[in-house]
């Protein structure tokens, strides 16, 4: 047996692991001792990495659709079919009629290749990925206030904080090794404050849990800020030296109605005063937030409200402070950094800037595409209208993870051509015209970028199953098939080198430098050859930090007589995303085998429901059947459901209403009705979506 160093394939914490390889198989994993993030530990999912990519059940060869069925095909045939599918759409509609959705589990090299394929080969900025429905409001909101949407501190900053403010993030479940670090900081004396409508495990352990009403973040954050300004608790020196927009913010909050704030949030004034005092008086406050802030139609404004609070109290730019969006997927930071977004090239170079267009145009030998490009949900809308005809989905399980499943299915079925690049025959791949088998993270070289901007190497430990290849190799072959030779790289290192040569943020990075310690944090350029562990120490990327007045935005859909419950969606520790990877592990599956609807016992009693009784849940968009779990984790009137289960997909119910700025759908709130099924009845599985 030998051990190959690698990085966990699940969440954005980016824990270091060793792949135990025996006779060409990954037989298990072990933690990397001395890794700066995971410090020699892994969570339950990390330990299950080898199940996630186990060759059994993986795609071994391409598949093409013939007479309605998928059958095995050669790479030549599958690539030719794919090239033809794109070409027909291009001939008919031009580059606006095609698109690519890339993968936040895949490497930086894969994602660089995906956006280059979209821009240089297809000639479109229609390139996006799951960051759209994850932290796009952070990119937009912190972009406006600071000039950059990345986490400002590093994970190690937690060790230096004396106050930890966690808003809308279930950290012990979803960023487990960061959760452990928060609890360790609390044990040495830091105050832990959790803001969440659910009583999560972390909320139960916190010194203060603000159990606000679903969707009332801005009311709460403005209330805290109003109290801070009214009492003179703000950081005057920081505001004068580092910020702008203070007068407008003061004016906006001067006549703030605290009584109304307490009604909107459901919190007592004394709770707000205590938190306002503690946060503004902390020596170093570390602020982290997640999907409970971003996944609303007010997502961008929610992020701005967090930013206002942190800037006004000067809790930024010093050890132990900062605004820290906890990025979700192992390489979602990297997929954004690589330019898999419709409005930026790699390194956030604006697609609208003529100088940037000229640089990439010259390097790639193809003119810059027309603007604007479409976001992922806009691509679905265009498909439903017949204005987008051919789509590549590289490693996303859209059928389970996009909002409003029935609407998404209508979009995929309306396409003339769908190609899915996947590890397994996912629900989304079942709908494809062509399925291409991808190599998993253990089967390729490359890099992942974690939530603290740390670019780390992954290394090929074993051969891919069958004829599967790395995503970048598939895109390179497809580009050649479509007459473009500019993606003919010899290896992953060459892809990385091309990227760094075109991307100032990464200009001093190369594979040898990344291998010295445990990666490097960007910016990493001539001025920062050792990378940048902490951002914003002297200035913000946009210069001064900007305070921007925002007001509470009502939810798009609130409970009424027909749909009397508020409904929210969340995650469970033992499962991940659409479940395609974690549900391969018997161990993880045993821990959480069922999709459950979390309901307060008082609501259960009112509906006459016993524990685990079967129910039907309906929204204006769809329905599902599942079992209830009666628990005071949720307040009365609010139901919660994890989104990992294809047999009871909560995205049947969710609302696609979008944030006008970032196009984030309101995944965290909609209205539903619940009907008990007869005692003894087994919930029906939501039908498989197989056919086109
Ligand atoms: N085990 C596991 N870990 C994961 C993932 C996974 O699927 N499984 N996915 C990864 C990904 S892609 C991501 S993006 C991250 C996400 O990690 P988190 O951001 O922690 O994700 P969620 O559990 O969806 O939502 C966080 C919390 O927001 C709360 N919330 C809901 N509404 C509101 C509100 O109005 N205000 C406030 N303040 N809070 C609210 C919910 O109750 C929930 O506890 O996790 C990553 N890690
Ligand atoms: N209701 C509701 N819906 C949500 C959310 C929510 O909180 N509530 N959260 C949203 C968020 S934050 C996110 S990030 C999305 C996540 O949505 P997705 O990205 O669709 O979900 P995942 O299940 O994490 O991963 C998708 C696929 O990646 C494949 N994969 C893994 N590695 C590779 C690789 O190297 N190459 C290729 N080609 N494929 C690979 C896996 O097989 C898996 O099927 O879900 C969103 N949907
Ligand atoms: S915390 Fe995240 S990166 Fe670390 S082992 Fe768990 S799933 Fe993997
Ligand atoms: Mo995410």
User: Number of structural domains, the chain?
Assistant: 4
The reply to whether 667 and 583 lie within a common domain is yes
The reply to whether 37 and 99 lie within a common domain is no
The reply to whether 340 and 480 lie within a common domain is yes
- How close is the Cα of 379 to the center of ligand 4, in Å? 19
The reply to whether 164 and 102 lie within a common domain is no
529 part of a folded domain = no
Ligand 2 touching residue 396 (CB < 6 A): yes
Protein residue closest via CA to atom 46 of ligand 2: 401
Indicate if the pLDDT at residue 232 is higher than 80. yes
Domain harbouring 10, CATH code: 3.30.200.210
331 part of a folded domain = no
Separation of alpha carbons 264 and 34, rounded Å: 46
Ligand 2 touching residue 103 (CB < 6 A): yes
509 part of a folded domain = no
pLDDT, average across residues 561-567: 98
Protein residue closest via CA to atom 3 of ligand 2: 401
- How close is the Cα of 348 to the center of ligand 4, in Å? 19
550 part of a folded domain = no
Predicted structure pTM score: 0.96
Indicate if the pLDDT at residue 690 is higher than 60. no
Protein residue closest via CA to atom 14 of ligand 1: 328
Please return the burial class of 91, using the count of CB atoms within 10 Å of its CB with bins 0-12, 13-18 and 19+.
exposed
Q: Which range is least confidently modeled, 472-476, 588-592, 594-598? A: 588-592
Residue 229 pLDDT: 97
Domain harbouring 636, CATH code: 2.40.40.20
CA 659 to chain centre: 16
- How close is the Cα of 319 to the center of ligand 2, in Å? 33
Q: Which range is least confidently modeled, 11-25, 452-466, 558-572, 678-692? A: 678-692
Contact criterion met (CB below 8 Å) for 568 and 197: yes
Separation of alpha carbons 417 and 453, rounded Å: 36
Separation of alpha carbons 482 and 94, rounded Å: 15
Protein residue closest via CA to atom 1 of ligand 1: 573
The reply to whether 147 and 292 lie within a common domain is yes
pLDDT, average across residues 233-254: 97
Which ligand is closest to the CA of 576, given by its number? 1
Domain harbouring 251, CATH code: 3.40.228.10
Ligand 2 touching residue 395 (CB < 6 A): yes
502 part of a folded domain = no
521 part of a folded domain = no
Atom of ligand 2 nearest to the CA of 644: 23
Domain harbouring 375, CATH code: 3.40.50.740
Domain boundaries, position 191: 136-326
The reply to whether 625 and 587 lie within a common domain is yes
The reply to whether 128 and 147 lie within a common domain is no
The reply to whether 357 and 491 lie within a common domain is yes
The torsion region of residue 424 among left (phi > 0), alpha (psi -120 to 50) and beta comes to beta
The reply to whether 348 and 478 lie within a common domain is yes
The reply to whether 344 and 308 lie within a common domain is no
Separation of alpha carbons 281 and 644, rounded Å: 40
554 part of a folded domain = no
What length is written for the chain? 692
**pLDDT mean across residues, the chain:** 96
227 part of a folded domain = yes
Ligand 3 touching residue 455 (CB < 6 A): no
Indicate if the pLDDT at residue 687 is higher than 80. no
Residue 689 pLDDT: 62
The reply to whether 377 and 348 lie within a common domain is yes
Residue 691 pLDDT: 59
The reply to whether 275 and 414 lie within a common domain is no
Residue 582 pLDDT: 84
Please return the burial class of 17, using the count of CB atoms within 10 Å of its CB with bins 0-12, 13-18 and 19+.
buried
Confidence of residue 571 (pLDDT cuts 50, 70, 90): very high
Residue 537 pLDDT: 86
């Amino acid at each position: 047996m030998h051990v190959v160093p690698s990085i966990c394939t699940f969440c954005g914490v980016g824990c270091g692991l060793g792949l135990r390889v025996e006779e060409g198989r990954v037989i298990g994993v072990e933690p990397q001792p001395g890794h700066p993030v995971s410090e020699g530990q892994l969570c339950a999912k990390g330990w299950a990495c080898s199940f996630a990519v186990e060759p059994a059940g993986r795609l071994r060869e391409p598949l093409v659709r013939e007479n309605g069925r998928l059958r095995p095909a050669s790479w030549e045939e599958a690539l030719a079919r794919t090239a033809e599918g794109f070409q027909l759409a291009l001939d008919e509609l031009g580059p606006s009629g095609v698109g690519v959705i890339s993968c936040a589990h895949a490497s930086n090299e894969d994602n660089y290749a995906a956006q280059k394929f979209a821009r240089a080969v297809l000639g479109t900025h229609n390139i996006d990925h799951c960051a759209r429905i994850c932290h796009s409001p952070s990119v937009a909101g912190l972009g406006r206030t600071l000039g950059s949407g990345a986490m400002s501190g590093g994970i190690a900053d937690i060790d230096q904080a004396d106050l930890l403010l966690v808003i809308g993030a279930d950290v012990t479940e979803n960023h487990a090794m960061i959760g452990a670090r928060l609890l360790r900081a609390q044990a040495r004396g830091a105050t832990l404050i959790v803001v969440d409508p659910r009583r999560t495990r972390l909320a139960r352990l916190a010194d203060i849990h603000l159990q606000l009403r679903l969707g009332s973040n801005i009311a709460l954050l403005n209330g805290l800020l109003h109290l801070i300004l009214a009492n003179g608790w703000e950081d005057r020196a920081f505001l004068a030296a580092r910020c702008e927009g203070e007068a407008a913010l003061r004016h906006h909050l001067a006549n703030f109605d605290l009584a109304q704030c307490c009604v909107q949030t459901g919190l007592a004034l004394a709770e707000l005063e205590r938190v306002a005092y503690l946060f503004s008086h902390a020596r170093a406050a570390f602020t982290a937030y997640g999907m409970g802030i971003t996944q609303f139609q007010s997502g961008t404004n929610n992020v701005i409200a967090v930013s206002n609070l942190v800037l006004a109290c000067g809790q930024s730019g010093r050890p132990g402070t900062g605004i820290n969006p906890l990025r979700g997927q192992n390489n979602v930071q990297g997929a954004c950094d690589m330019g898999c977004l419709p409005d930026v090239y790699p390194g956030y170079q604006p697609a609208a800037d003529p100088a940037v267009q000229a640089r990439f145009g010259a390097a790639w030998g193809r003119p810059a595409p027309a603007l604007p490009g479409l976001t992922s949900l806009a691509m679905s809308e265009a498909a439903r209208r017949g204005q987008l005809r051919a789509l590549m989905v590289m490693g996303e399980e859209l059928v389970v993870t996009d909002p409003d499943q029935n609407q998404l299915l209508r979009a995929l079925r309306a396409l003339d051509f769908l190609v899915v690049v996947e590890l397994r025959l996912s629900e989304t791949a079942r709908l494809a015209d062509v399925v291409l088998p991808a190599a998993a993270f253990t089967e390729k070289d490359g890099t992942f970028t974690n939530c603290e901007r740390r670019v780390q190497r992954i290394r090929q430990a074993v051969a891919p199953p069958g004829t599967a290849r790395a995503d970048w190799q598939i895109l390179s072959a497809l580009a050649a098939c479509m007459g473009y030779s500019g993606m003919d790289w010899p290896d992953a290192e060459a892809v990385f080198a091309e990227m760094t040569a075109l991307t100032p943020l990464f200009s001093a990075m190369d594979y040898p430098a990344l291998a010295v310690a445990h990666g490097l944090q960007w910016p990493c350029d001539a001025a920062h050859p050792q990378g940048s562990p902490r951002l914003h120490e002297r200035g913000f990327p946009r210069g001064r930090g900007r305070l921007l007045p925002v007001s509470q935005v009502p939810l798009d859909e609130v409970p009424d007589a027909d749909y009397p419950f508020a409904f929210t969606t969340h995650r469970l520790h033992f499962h991940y995303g659409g479940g395609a990877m974690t549900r391969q592990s018997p161990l993880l599956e045993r821990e959480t085998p069922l999709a459950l609807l979390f309901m307060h016992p008082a609501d259960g009693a009112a509906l006459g429901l016993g524990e685990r009784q079967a129910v039907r849940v309906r929204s204006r968009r769809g329905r599902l059947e599942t079992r209830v779990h009666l628990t005071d984790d949720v307040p009365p009137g609010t139901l919660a459901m994890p989104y990992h289960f294809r047999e009871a997909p909560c995205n049947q119910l969710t609302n696609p209403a979008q944030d006008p700025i970032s196009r984030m759908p309101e995944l965290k709130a909609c209205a539903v009705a619940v009907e008990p099924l007869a005692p003894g009845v087994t919930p029906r599985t939501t039908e498989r979506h197989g056919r086109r």
